[in-house]
C-alpha cells in the first residue's frame, strides 16, 4: 500500500582500516576476499570481495567526515551535489549522504559484516552534526561553518539561474527533495536496529520537527522555521506555502506512519488524519478539479513558487494526489477519499496535451490555468541569474508534453477499490495496526537517481554482478563518465547576454552555475553509481541464499 518509489537513504564514510584491532583483523580477512574477486566470477566470495573493495574506496577516499556529495572529478579538484560544492560540504538530497547510509545498512543486512554498519553510523553521525536546531535539515551541510555556507550561497548558489531554491540562504531546514525526511529515516532505521542511545535525541528532534511544522490545515511548508521574508525578483517568498511539490506532504505522512508503527507514538495519529484531509481541501472546484504544486497557507488557493512555477494546476501533481487519496482509503476505509477521484480523472483527460505534443510517452503539459483549463507556457530571456528572467504566457508554439499521466491505470485502481469491501481494503493498514512492517529489510531495491543528472543522463553501463565485478578498477572505484558539469563561479556577470549567446535551456552563459549535461565528459566518481551497483551485488548475494 505504501508507495515504495521513494527510497530511504543515508550516507557515510570512514577509513575501514582505522577502527582498531578488530578492524585490522577484518581487513586481513577482506584482503583474502579481494583476491577471490576473479573477473567473471559471481560466487559469494567474489561478490563480497567486490562490495568491500568498492566500499573501502568510498569510505577511505571519497567521504568527508562521514558524508558525501553526488559526484567528484577523479582528482577531486571539483565536486558537485545539485550544484558545485565546497570540499567541506556534504549533501542530504538523493543520492547523497542519506542514500549512502542506507546502502551500507543493506550491505550489512546481506553480509553481517559490522564494517558496513560502522560506515552507516559514520554517515548518520555526519547528518546529526549537521542537523538544524529545529530538528530538520537543509540540502547541504558545510562543516566549515556558517561563514563558509553563506559565502557559497552568495556566489555559487546565487548564480544558479534555474535553481532559485539556492539563490538565498534562509538558515533553516527544508522538506524539499526529501532532504529532512531521508535523514530522519536513516536515523529511525539505525535506532530500530540496535537501539543506540546516541540516535534517540536527534530522531526525536526530527519527529518533533515534522509535527511542529505542520499547519492547522494539515499541510506543510517547504521550509521551516519561517525565515525573514525574502522577495525573489519581485516574487514573494514562497517557502511558507503549503507544499505538495516533490512529495512533501505524502512523504511526511508516510514517515509519520512509520513512526506510529515502529514506536506506537500516538501523537502522530491526529496529524496524519489532518494531513490526509488537507488533500481534500486542496482540490480545486469545477471546472478545474485538480491540484497545484503549492498553495497559500492563508486561503489554500494555488500559489506561485519559483519564478517558473506560476499559480496554476499541475496534472502530474494531480495524478499523485489521486494515488494518495486511494492510499488513504486503504488506510482508513473512509469513502470520502474516493468520492472526488473520478471527476478529477476526467479532468486529466480533458487537459491532456494534443497528440502532436506528446514525447516519449509524456502526455501532459506541466501547468494548467485554474478556471480556464488553458495550458501555460514558461519561457525565459536573458543569459544568467542576474540579467535573466522567466515569464509565463499562453504561447504553446514548440511546447511539448513534459509529464506522463496514466489515467487508465488510475481508473483501474479506483474500480478495484470500489468493488471491494472496506474491511478487505484496510486489512494491511498500519494506521489500524495491521499489515507488514513499513521498514523493509532492504531499502535500496531499485536504481536511484534523484536530481543527479550524472545518474539520470548516464550512458548505459553493466547491470549484472559479473560485469560489475570486472568493471571495478584497481583502487575499488567504479569510474564513470561525468557528463554533467557546471561553470565555475565567476564575479561581475554581464548586465546583458554576451554577443552570440544561445540559450541551451539547462544553462545560460559562463556566469550561470547551474549544472548541465554534455555529450561526453571526464572520468569521475558518482555516489549514485556506487549505490546502484552495490544494490545489484547485494541482490545477487541474497539471491544465492
| Tens-digit pLDDT profile for residues 509-542 | 999 999 999 999 999 999 999 999 999 999 999 9
For residue 3, being part of any structural domain is answered with: no
pTM over 0.95: no
153 confidence band (pLDDT: 50, 70, 90): very high
Q: How many domains does the chain have?
A: 1
pLDDT in tens, 100-145: 999 999 999 999 999 999 999 999 999 999 999 999 999 999 999 9
19 confidence band (pLDDT: 50, 70, 90): very low
Q: Crossing angle, helix 248-263 and helix 200-212, to 10 degrees? A: 130
Counting residues of the chain whose pLDDT is more than 90, the rounded percentage is 86
pLDDT in tens, 422-472: 999 999 999 999 999 999 999 997 777 777 888 887 777 778 999 999 999
For residue 121, being part of any structural domain is answered with: yes
For residue 507, being part of any structural domain is answered with: yes
Region 246-269: mean pLDDT is 97
For residue 443, being part of any structural domain is answered with: yes
Region 471-493: mean pLDDT is 96
pLDDT in tens, 352-371: 999 999 999 999 999 999 99
Domain extent for 127: 16-543
Check pLDDT > 70 for residue 149.
Answer: yes
The CA distances from residue 315 to 47, 219, 236, 461, in Å, are 44, 19, 24, 33
235 confidence band (pLDDT: 50, 70, 90): low
Report d(CA 241, CA 249) in Å as an integer: 12
Q: Which long-range contacts (CB under 8 A, 24 or more apart) does 108-112 make?
A: 109/441, 109/442, 110/442, 110/538, 110/541, 110/542, 111/48, 111/51, 111/541
Backbone angles phi, psi at 340, to 5 degrees: -90, 0
Check pLDDT > 50 for residue 41.
Answer: no
| Distant-in-sequence, close-in-space partners of 545: CB < 8 Å, separation ≥ 6 | none
Q: What is the CATH number of the domain that holds 100?
A: 1.50.10.20
Report d(CA 179, CA 137) in Å as an integer: 6
Backbone angles phi, psi at 79, to 5 degrees: -150, 155
231 confidence band (pLDDT: 50, 70, 90): low
For residue 208, being part of any structural domain is answered with: yes
Check pLDDT > 50 for residue 3.
Answer: no
Check pLDDT > 90 for residue 488.
Answer: yes
For residue 241, being part of any structural domain is answered with: yes
Q: Nearest-CA neighbor of 391 among 308, 303, 504, 508?
A: 308
Check pLDDT > 50 for residue 4.
Answer: no
- The mean pLDDT value of the chain amounts to 91
For residue 403, being part of any structural domain is answered with: yes
Ranking 184-188, 391-395, 452-456, 470-474 by mean pLDDT, the lowest is 452-456
Amino acid at each position: 500500500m505504501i508507495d515504495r518509489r521513494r527510497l530511504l537513504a543515508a550516507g557515510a564514510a570512514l577509513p575501514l582500516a582505522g577502527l582498531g584491532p578488530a578492524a585490522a583483523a577484518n581487513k586481513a580477512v577482506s584482503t583474502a576476499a579481494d583476491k577471490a574477486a576473479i573477473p567473471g566470477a559471481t560466487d559469494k566470495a567474489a561478490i563480497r570481495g567486490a562490495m568491500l573493495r568498492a566500499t573501502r574506496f568510498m569510505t577511505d577516499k571519497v567521504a568527508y567526515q562521514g558524508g558525501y556529495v553526488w559526484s567528484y572529478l577523479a582528482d577531486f579538484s571539483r565536486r558537485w551535489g545539485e550544484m558545485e560544492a565546497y570540499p567541506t560540504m556534504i549533501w542530504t538530497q538523493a543520492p547523497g549522504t542519506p542514500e549512502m547510509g542506507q546502502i551500507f545498512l543493506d550491505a550489512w543486512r546481506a553480509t553481517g559484516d559490522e564494517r558496513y554498519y560502522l560506515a552507516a553510523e559514520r554517515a548518520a553521525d555526519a547528518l546529526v552534526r549537521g542537523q538544524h536546531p529545529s530538528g530538520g535539515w537543509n540540502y547541504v551541510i558545510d562543516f566549515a561553518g556558517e561563514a563558509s555556507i553563506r559565502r557559497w550561497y552568495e556566489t555559487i548558489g546565487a548564480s544558479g539561474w534555474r535553481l532559485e531554491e539556492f539563490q538565498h540562504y534562509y538558515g533553516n531546514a527544508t522538506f524539499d527533495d526529501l532532504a529532512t525526511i531521508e535523514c530522519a529515516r536513516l536515523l529511525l532505521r539505525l535506532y530500530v536496529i540496535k537501539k543506540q542511545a546516541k540516535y534517540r535525541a536527534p530522531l526525536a528532534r526530527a519527529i518533533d520537527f515534522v509535527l511542529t511544522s505542520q499547519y492547522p490545515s494539515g499541510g506543510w511548508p517547504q521550509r521551516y522555521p519561517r525565515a525573514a521574508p525574502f522577495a525573489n525578483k519581485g516574487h514573494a517568498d514562497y517557502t511558507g506555502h503549503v507544499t505538495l511539490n516533490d512529495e512533501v506532504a505524502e512523504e511526511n505522512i508516510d514517515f509519520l506512519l512509520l513512526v506510529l508503527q515502529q514506536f506506537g507514538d500516538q501523537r502522530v495519529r491526529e496529524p496524519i488524519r489532518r494531513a490526509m484531509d488537507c488533500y481534500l481541501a486542496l482540490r480545486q472546484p469545477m471546472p478545474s478539479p485538480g491540484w497545484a504544486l503549492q498553495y497559500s497557507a492563508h486561503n489554500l488557493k494555488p500559489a506561485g513558487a519559483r519564478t517558473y512555477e506560476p499559480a496554476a494546476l499541475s496534472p502530474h501533481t494531480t495524478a499523485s494526489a489521486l494515488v494518495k487519496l486511494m492510499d488513504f482509503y486503504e488506510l482508513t476505509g473512509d469513502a470520502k477519499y474516493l468520492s472526488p477521484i473520478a471527476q478529477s480523472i476526467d479532468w486529466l483527460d480533458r487537459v491532456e496535451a494534443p497528440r502532436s505534443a506528446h514525447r516519449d510517452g509524456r502526455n501532459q503539459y506541466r501547468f494548467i490555468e485554474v478556471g480556464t483549463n488553458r495550458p501555460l507556457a514558461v519561457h525565459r530571456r536573458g543569459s544568467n541569474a542576474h540579467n535573466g528572467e522567466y515569464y509565463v504566457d499562453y504561447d504553446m508554439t514548440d511546447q511539448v508534453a513534459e509529464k506522463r499521466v496514466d489515467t487508465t491505470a488510475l481508473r483501474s485502481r479506483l474500480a478495484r477499490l470500489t468493488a471491494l469491501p472496506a474491511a478487505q481494503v484496510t486489512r494491511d493498514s498500519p494506521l489500524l495496526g495491521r499489515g507488514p512492517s513499513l521498514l523493509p529489510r532492504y531499502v535500496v531495491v531499485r536504481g536511484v537517481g534523484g536530481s543527479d543528472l550524472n545518474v539520470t543522463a548516464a550512458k548505459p553501463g553493466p547491470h549484472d554482478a559479473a560485469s560489475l565485478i570486472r568493471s571495478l578498477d584497481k583502487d575499488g572505484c567504479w569510474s564513470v563518465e561525468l557528463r554533467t558539469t557546471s561553470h565555475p563561479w565567476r564575479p561581475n556577470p554581464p548586465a546583458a547576454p554576451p554577443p552570440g549567446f544561445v540559450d541551451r535551456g539547462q544553462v545560460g552563459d559562463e556566469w550561470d552555475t547551474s549544472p548541465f549535461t554534455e555529450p561526453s565528459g571526464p572520468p569521475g566518481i558518482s555516489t549514485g553509481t556506487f549505490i546502484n551497483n552495490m544494490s545489484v551485488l547485494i541482490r545477487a548475494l541474497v539471491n544465492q541464499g
